[in-house]
Structures are given as structure tokens and as C-alpha cells.
Amino acid sequence: MLLLQAQAGGATGILGSPLTMIVLMFVIMWFFMIRPQRKQQKAIEAFRNSLSAGQQVVTSGGIYGTVKDIVTENGRQVVILEIAPSVRIKIDKSSIYADMSANAQQ
């Protein structure tokens, strides 16, 4: 009742403050946009760290293949990916995007 009287008198309430609205907008944006994206990035990073030979994967460029080996070249981890029988390519480990082993078993 007191809050209604204060608003009627021309005083701004807590939610009427421009600073409060900006902070509230940032919190909502963080909760719905930034937080889920960070969770997804952490999951992808955990997946990349758990890569092993024999896994079927897809790269960020859309190339499907089987991991044959993981080596370190010039301080970077490189994945040897077999994309067809006897066809192997070297790609950066950070370009591995998803595990396709579960899809192949179905």
C-alpha cells in the first residue's frame, strides 16, 4: 500500500530505476544466452579431451571419419582422421565437433 502511494506521488520505485532495468536485462540475457553457451562449450571441450583412437567423429567442417591417432606437432594436438579406407588426413584437435559413434551403432 505504501509503495503504491509512493508511485502515485511521482517517486520511482525500485523497478523504475534505469540502472536496475539494465542490470535486470543483463541478468536475464546471461541466464538465457551466455550460460547455456558456456555449458555447451565445456561439454565439447570435455569431449575433445576424451578422444581416443577408433572413435567416429565429425569435424566442424562437416567431414565424417574415424580417429586413428592423436599426435602433438609444434605444440598443437593433431588428429589423424581416416575419412575413407586408406585415406587419412591431419586436422587440428580443436576442429573436432561431435561424436558419431553412438549414431553408428543404431
CATH number at residue 93: 2.30.30.30
pLDDT confidence of residue 106: 44
Q: Based on the structure, what is the number of domains in the chain? A: 2
Q: List the alpha helices (DSSP H) in 1-84.
A: 2-8, 18-29, 35-49
**Tally: H helices and E strands in the chain:** 4, 5
Residue 100 belongs to domain spanning: 52-105
| The pTM of the whole model exceeds 0.75 | no
Whether residue 86 has pLDDT greater than 50: yes
Q: What is the pLDDT of residues 14-42, one digit of tens each?
A: 667 888 888 888 888 888 888 888 998 89
The residue behind cell 577408433 is 54
pLDDT bracket for residue 85 (50, 70, 90) = very high
35 & 57 share domain: no
57 & 75 share domain: yes
